[in-house]
């Protein structure tokens, strides 16, 4: 995909954003347009979302898509703006530690600033055994350190989200992933804000908090007070757009009511935002 901004190493700028207690918003985009709009409105970094990407091609977020598909999609997001981009790369696209290492190397080749790898044996919701999960992160971290440039690896303890284990095991895994060489850690959707705060404090590595579900009620300042280093959106923003489509479609197709279409922004405004985002300019 052609781009009008110079190729650069995104690693140092991306790493510098991760300051515990002063979190930035990692804005998950699902196509070039959403990436450019988020950039124009002030995003400091972008991420893909496996679920949001799957939605765009009518698939489910359960390991249905291949590594090549995710890499090709991520490359379009990298090219869309000058911002650093993280890849939401599921379980590293395979159970073997070397597969995770290969995913790191391939991700760096397309210009990603980093990736996250979870501990779920997709397409099943079962978590990998503890020792195996740690070995996978150790191999990915070693591959990241062997790269010729900086690369930020986040290890995800997804058992809380998938129901595979509870808080105590998530704490154990967060600590072990940090010791295995992960640059950052992430355990989506704990049971409470108190549990989230405990997870953040479990290691000295930057922690990614998810602003979704019950945690979308928290402010950035509240995440900061807990010590989070960044706040990601997952597929939450994409699902806001799907809700708008669904609401308008039901009104039109079931009641003949087009009034919701008046809520959209003008085409000129959209064009201006896309242009600004592509250039890396922030529009108030």
Q: Residue 64 contacts by C-beta under 8 Å, 6 or more apart in sequence? A: 54, 123
108 token code pair: 């760096």
Judge whether 157 and 186 are in contact, CB under 8 Å. Answer: yes
62 pLDDT above the threshold of 80:
no
| Homologous superfamily, domain 17-279 | Phosphoenolpyruvate-binding domains (3.20.20.60)
The SS3 call for residue 22 is coil
248 pLDDT above the threshold of 50:
yes
239 pLDDT above the threshold of 60:
yes
Residue with tokens 């242009």: 275
Average pLDDT over residues 26-30: 98
pLDDT at 5: 47
pLDDT at 7: 52
113-166 pLDDT, tens per residue?
999 999 999 998 899 999 999 999 999 999 999 999 999 999 999 999 999 999
176 pLDDT above the threshold of 90:
yes
CA distances (Å), origin 273, targets 9, 25, 276, 277: 25, 19, 5, 6
CA distances (Å), origin 100, targets 61, 68, 139, 243, 276: 19, 14, 7, 34, 35
Which runs of consecutive H residues, i.e. helices, occur in 65-166? 67-80, 97-109, 130-145, 159-162
CA angle, corner 22, sides to 16 and 27, nearest 5? 70
pTM across the whole model: 0.94
Confidence of residue 53 (pLDDT cuts 50, 70, 90): very high
- What's the Rg (C-alpha) of the chain? 19
Torsion of CA 35, 200, 129, 101, to 10 degrees: 40
Domain boundaries, the chain: 17-279
Q: Residue 124 contacts by C-beta under 8 Å, 6 or more apart in sequence? A: none
Burial of 201 (0-12, 13-18, 19+ CB in 10 A): middle
The whole-angstrom separation of Cα 83 and Cα 3 is 12
Confidence of residue 284 (pLDDT cuts 50, 70, 90): confident
pLDDT at 34: 98
């Amino acid at each position: 995909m052609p781009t009008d901004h110079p190729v650069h190493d995104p690693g140092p700028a991306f790493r510098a954003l991760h300051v515990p207690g002063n979190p930035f918003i990692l804005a998950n985009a699902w196509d070039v347009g959403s990436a450019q709009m988020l950039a124009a409105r002030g995003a400091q970094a972008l991420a893909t979302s496996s679920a949001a990407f799957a939605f765009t091609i009518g698939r489910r977020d359960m390991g249905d898509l291949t590594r090549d598909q995710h890499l090709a999609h991520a490359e379009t997001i990298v090219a869309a703006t000058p911002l650093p981009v993280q890849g939401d790369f599921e379980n590293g696209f395979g159970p073997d530690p070397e597969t995770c290492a290969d995913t790191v190397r391939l991700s760096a080749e397309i210009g990603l600033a980093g990736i996250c790898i979870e501990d779920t044996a997709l397409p099943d919701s079962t978590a990998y055994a503890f020792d195996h999960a740690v070995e996978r992160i150790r191999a990915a971290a070693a591959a990241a350190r062997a790269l010729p440039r900086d690369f930020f690896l986040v290890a995800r303890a997804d058992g809380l989200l998938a129901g595979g284990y509870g808080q105590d095991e998530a704490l154990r895994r967060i600590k072990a992933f940090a010791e295995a060489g992960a640059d950052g850690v992430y355990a989506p959707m704990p049971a409470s804000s108190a549990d989230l705060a405990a997870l953040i404090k479990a290691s000295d590595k930057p922690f990614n908090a998810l602003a979704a579900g019950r945690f979308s009620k928290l402010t950035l300042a509240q995440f900061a007070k807990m010590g989070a280093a960044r706040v990601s959106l997952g597929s939450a923003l994409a699902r806001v757009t799907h809700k708008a489509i669904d609401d308008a479609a039901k009104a039109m197709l079931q009641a003949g009511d087009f009034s919701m279409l008046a809520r959209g922004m003008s085409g000129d405004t959209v064009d201006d935002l896309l242009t600004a985002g592509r250039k890396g300019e922030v529009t108030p």
